[in-house]
Structure 1
């Protein structure tokens, strides 16, 4: 990559003074501001795929928007963590620091997530705004007013729209997530080296035709969602390139398909692309083959029979010896149809710590018998919604690790 847009973060490597041998930095975001804020970069990296984060932590400029736009908590988590995962291909955690988005503001994101306006709506708004400004004695540029009214990235819809109009013109875009990736330079400063943008797109559109009226639901086919998502992505790139500091940096864009609002498992990323530094046009999109699968389910039984049988057998063996057992819920994460991670939640009623220990020991043995070692595994054992014990095993490991909580 060529030289990226530098942000004014001065880095002082004061290892002898820094706690836990972290790198200590001095941040100064505004060249006109003389006051410097001391910060650190932790020296310890949790894993090869985990980014170091500059502290003190600076929240996103659009903080809180995601909670208002995406109803399902599991989708929120997967959008955030999955975008980081897909950013590692372009921004290696060995060489880059992570920071939440500092360029797309709350007002900007809400503005972009709205609907565009119909011609009739725009003409009405332009006239009303222009008349008001003239009465107040201002010089009026109607074209400037018109341009400022066309920021919504979702399809326009008439004010007197009927149910069919809403179904034919759904809100595809739920959220725009920005993540920033920083790189340390030879002169001990840190520069913005690139950004990633995740576009959250609906699989089910929920709407009302009138305030207080009933909710309607419209399923959005994946192909239709992806087509509109790619068109929206190009518009986002056009706008991002006009933001100060983002004209030349590489941009990773990934499309995320949300699950239904009540889904117990997350949705999935479906495609991504990279816009090289200084470029404005999106070229080739790369397909992403990922899937979160619920166990038990018809989908799991049909498409992941062996894994479904292993989980079913695990539950059947538990039921033989523990009468308080009520069933298990599993979630598998597949990449290119290969299982990468399996999470199993076991709710069971316990009456003492000895029961917890005994059950955990039994589950530990079953795990070694029934689940292969070529994926990450986590078994969460809970009672009355309280986590009692945790059994984990990383891909390739022979023996699981057990944690009994006290």
Structure 2
């Protein structure tokens, strides 16, 4: 029987796709503060939304580089995919049943902005050294060393020509840290591992004399530069006391173009054992996000492409003037893991929303197989009207109609 829920609180459970038990079994443990090493009480929940989700430590501590990712990555879908994708890959190294998750606490905003900058050109470097020597503008040796931390190729953006941009594209966009903790024998939470995601561009966009240009970066070029950056990042991370002697997983993320409706994906992964500052072999990550309908989707995943088109045709039977269904498929090893469909419509009343949602639910039950996760978002004027969600393997979907 179809399940329809009408409250926002219900939507939270729908989105997690699980039904956790309710209890008062949260535990108080002692967590070491990073800088003072003093102990403070923290709460760790024994409730886990699902075996695939990490538990967190409360009170929740935001990242030490909070906000940097939104300033550096130009596409919201890339931001979301990088964060969730890094957690997903981390499960191979840090099992959710054994580890607690926490946002990165050791790579600070100032540190990352220095690393993500472009390295000074020879001329710029000479000028900076002269400023230090002459104590000009209160520019110090520390300021010079901070500029030398930049990991992107040398570029004087104020005076750069088109050729300068083409020869020295900005590869590196962001570095994301995630921490994994365990409760030790003394009932203390301690850091026992970390994951580092390194975001790299597939298209470098720049402006010269009022004109905008796009410089494509091949995957092979990106991989070569990304591996060099990863080695440098690991060496620097090992100089941070808390990260000096824990296992670290590193993953390279290839961004999509800023205008892309679907995100990029992680392309390679490696790990460094506790205390080691050198990277060994890289493993290819076979993940991709594919837009439907699209030429790429039709060529590579024709069955899914046709399914989305057929679904759109059936929607049109109900709403002849609708814009069209937009689909996104997430694949691992060329196997569909999740299909997200977005239906933009114009409604004139809650009755229309309910009626169409019931119709769409029927199409979901009729047309879509159950071996992958499915999410159907019904929207109007950029507002979510209703959601149909089904976990992989479930016979029935869950429906949520949002209150106005």
Q: TM-score under structure 1 normalisation?
A: 0.88
Structure 1 match to 2:148: 150
Structure 2 match to 1:360: 357
CA distance in structure 1 between the partners assigned to 2:127 and 2:59 by the alignment = 47
Q: Answer whether contact 1:324 1:349 (CA < 8 A) is retained.
A: no
Structure 1 match to 2:94: 91
1:48-75 superposed Cα distances (whole Å, 9 cap, x missing partner): 1211111111111111111110111111
Name the SS for the 1:309 alignment partner. Answer: helix
Structure 2 match to 1:42: 45
Structure 2 residue 105 is the aligned partner of structure 1 residue 102: yes
CA distance in structure 1 between the partners assigned to 2:384 and 2:147 by the alignment = 50
Q: CA deviation at 1:102?
A: 0.8
Name the SS for the 1:183 alignment partner. Answer: strand
Name the SS for the 2:95 alignment partner. Answer: coil
Q: CA deviation at 1:401?
A: 1.4
| Structure with bigger RCO (C-alpha 8 Å, 6+ apart) | 2
Name the SS for the 2:242 alignment partner. Answer: coil
Report how many residues are paired: 381
CA distance in structure 1 between the partners assigned to 2:304 and 2:37 by the alignment = 58
Distance 1:224 1:235, change over 3 A: same
Q: Answer whether contact 2:114 2:147 (CA < 8 A) is retained.
A: no
CA distance in structure 1 between the partners assigned to 2:233 and 2:224 by the alignment = 15
Name the SS for the 2:251 alignment partner. Answer: strand
CA distance in structure 2 between the partners assigned to 1:394 and 1:115 by the alignment = 44
Q: CA deviation at 1:322?
A: 2.4
CA distance in structure 1 between the partners assigned to 2:271 and 2:284 by the alignment = 12
1:74 aligns with one of 72, 77, 84: 77
Q: Answer whether contact 2:31 2:188 (CA < 8 A) is retained.
A: no
Q: CA deviation at 1:221?
A: 0.8
Q: TM-score under structure 2 normalisation?
A: 0.89
Q: List gaps (5 residues or longer) in structure 2.
A: 1-22
Distance 1:324 1:83, change over 3 A: same
CA distance in structure 1 between the partners assigned to 2:37 and 2:285 by the alignment = 44
Name the SS for the 1:152 alignment partner. Answer: coil
Name the SS for the 2:186 alignment partner. Answer: coil
Structure 2 residue 189 is the aligned partner of structure 1 residue 186: no
1:122-146 superposed Cα distances (whole Å, 9 cap, x missing partner): 232112202218x99xxx9x8x886
Structure 2 match to 1:197: 196
1:294-324 superposed Cα distances (whole Å, 9 cap, x missing partner): 1111111111110111111111012123234
Q: CA deviation at 1:346?
A: 1.0
Q: Answer whether contact 1:126 1:145 (CA < 8 A) is retained.
A: no
Name the SS for the 2:134 alignment partner. Answer: helix
Name the SS for the 1:20 alignment partner. Answer: coil
